[in-house]
Amino acid sequence: MVTTLFLIRHGETEGAEIKRYKGSIDVPLSEKGQKQMEQVAEFLNRSYKSYETYSLNAVYCSPLSRALKSAEIIAAPYGLKPIAMKDLRERSFGIWEGMSFTEIKEQYPEEFNLWASNPLKFSPVDGESTIELRGRVIDTFEKIIDAHNDEDIAIVAHGGVNRVILCHIMGIPLENIFRIEQDFAAVNIIEFHENYPVVKLLNGGCIG
């Protein structure tokens, strides 16, 4: 019995040409981001069409519009409606939210360097800690997996959320969370063999 999880990051957002910590700010997909997610939907169908029994049974997502819209695109071919889960939202970056990486480095150089060097020990100023993020994300993730034994499901979330899930699955210490890349529209495929996870694809997909 195998449960297959497609863990997906939302597509590109508006204003993505400047790298910013958007966190809990509700930023919509860009036109390019919508096209990316359409390509991901095609990629899922193409890559797994040889599975005679393959079909998504459920699609879960963050309630933030960039993830919800992405999930709607993924779910549409299967006639599904995404299930938004508040605990799959991106972490709050506190007073850094909306700021570019350059602005943060200039205004909070010491705090940013500490955060970048050990995101488990240090947190964004007035933001959510990695431990707090892990607590809500993994609890929700495990409930989703337990509810879909021997089924194929998708979770459409954010870079930070996906990294926490992947660290949990692969047993990677959370202080190394930034060693996992999650591009816009990234696809990760994990198979659970009687609750034993095997990562089949990491940060893949069809990204345009």
Q: Where in the chain are the domains?
A: 2-91+128-204
Domain 2-91+128-204 has CATH 2.30.40.10: no
Known catalytic residue at 90: yes
pLDDT band at 54 (very low <50, low <70, confident <90, very high): low
pLDDT of 26 higher than 60 = yes
Query: Which of the residues 17, 42, 52, 90 is marked catalytic?
Result: 90
Give the pLDDT mean for 160-170: 97
User: From CA 123, how far away is CA 105, in angstroms rounded?
Assistant: 14
What's the pLDDT score for residue 195? 75
**What pLDDT is recorded for position 207?**
54
Q: How much is the mean pLDDT over the chain?
A: 92
State the catalytic residue, choosing from 10, 38, 97, 158. 10
pLDDT digits 0-9 by tens, 136-164 = 999 999 999 999 999 999 999 999 999 99
193 given a catalytic annotation: no
pLDDT of residue 109: 94
**Closest listed residue to residue 134, CA positions, set 96, 95, 173:** 173
CA dihedral 1, 195, 187, 121 (to 10 degrees): 180
pLDDT, tens digit, for every residue of 66-107?
A: 999 999 999 999 999 999 999 999 999 999 999 998 999 999
